[in-house]
Amino acid sequence: MGELRDGERAPAVAVIVAAAGSGERLGASLPKALVPLGGRPMVTLSLVTAASCDAVDLIVVAAPPSHVSAIRGSVEAAALHTPTEVVGGGASRQDSVRLALEVVPSDFGIVVCHDAARPFASRDLFERVIGAVDGPDGADGAVPVIRPPDTVKQLDGDAVGRTIPRESLGLAQTPQAFRAGRLREAHASAARDGIEATDDAMLLEVAGMAVVAVPGEAANVKITTQEDLERAERIAEGAP
């Protein structure tokens, strides 16, 4: 956490782990968060990293409604020192985060949203995003980004429209950290206005809140396909 002045308390921090996806694109019989990676369910890697951050006081996992008890079993097996709750998720990622947010106590100051599908995010990265929203000068939200190394084309079908200056682009990752009140407001107005987003930062962006980019991590890959999973297995086993 940032430096504290006399009498100032560090804000309580909750981490929401979105783990309620079906993992259809992975073609597995289990939900993606429960697919084994390096001998443990994928979600366990994120739980262990989040729990290793001193600043984190509570973890809330959004589980597939059909697999709440299986995810609870993974949480117990991980023997985390950080209190961890499991709730049933919703039909979309956004619904899952909103449902998890409901069990975060109202006096928590910071909420971090992380996808179980990114099991290799480091503790450093969690601490970096938390640091960016902490303190009086902190932003409303912080997103890790990777600057694309490739030249990026805007396409219309197969036709190349134009080249987008890559200096202005960032590929967004999770964990993303937010001032809790701003995240709650952003989710409530999105639900009211029917806005659907693929990450939480977008909900703050459309509400005109201040979101900053922090450096992401190349190793923090998102596991979507069977091929991603095979590559992740090799990383989890420490293979070159």
What residues make contact with ligand C5P under the rule CB under 6 A? 18-21, 32-33, 62, 89-93, 96, 115-117, 224
Query: What is the closest distance, in whole angstroms, from the C-beta atom of residue 102 to ligand C5P in the complex?
Result: 14
Cβ distance to ligand C5P smaller for residue 13 or 100: 100
Which residues are registered as beta bridge partners of 85? 60
Query: What is the closest distance, in whole angstroms, from the C-beta atom of residue 131 to ligand C5P in the complex?
Result: 23
> CB of 127 within 8 A of CB of 53?
yes
Cβ distance to ligand C5P smaller for residue 20 or 203: 20
Query: What is the closest distance, in whole angstroms, from the C-beta atom of residue 14 to ligand C5P in the complex?
Result: 16
Residue of this chain nearest to ligand C5P (CB atom)? 21
Full DSSP string of the chain? -----TTPPPPPEEEEEE-----GGGT-SS-GGGSEETTEEHHHHHHHHHHT-TTEEEEEEEE-GGGHHHHHHHHHHHT-SS-EEEEE--SSHHHHHHHHHTTS-TT--EEEEEETT-TT--HHHHHHHHHHH-STT--SEEEEEE---S-EEEEETTEEEEEEPGGG--EE-S-EEEEHHHHHHHHHHHHHHT---SSHHHHHHHTT--EEEEE--TT-----SHHHHHHHHHHHTT--
> CB of 42 within 8 A of CB of 32?
yes
Cβ distance to ligand C5P smaller for residue 16 or 56: 16
Query: What is the closest distance, in whole angstroms, from the C-beta atom of residue 232 to ligand C5P in the complex?
Result: 13
Query: What is the closest distance, in whole angstroms, from the C-beta atom of residue 145 to ligand C5P in the complex?
Result: 17
Query: What is the closest distance, in whole angstroms, from the C-beta atom of residue 34 to ligand C5P in the complex?
Result: 10
Which residues are registered as beta bridge partners of 179? 110
Cβ distance to ligand C5P smaller for residue 92 or 189: 92
Query: What is the closest distance, in whole angstroms, from the C-beta atom of residue 46 to ligand C5P in the complex?
Result: 9
Could you tell me the two tokens for 238? Answer: 């420490």
Q: Is the peptide bond before 175 cis (omega within 30 degrees of 0)?
A: yes
Cβ distance to ligand C5P smaller for residue 44 or 138: 44
Cβ distance to ligand C5P smaller for residue 112 or 138: 112
Cβ distance to ligand C5P smaller for residue 66 or 154: 66
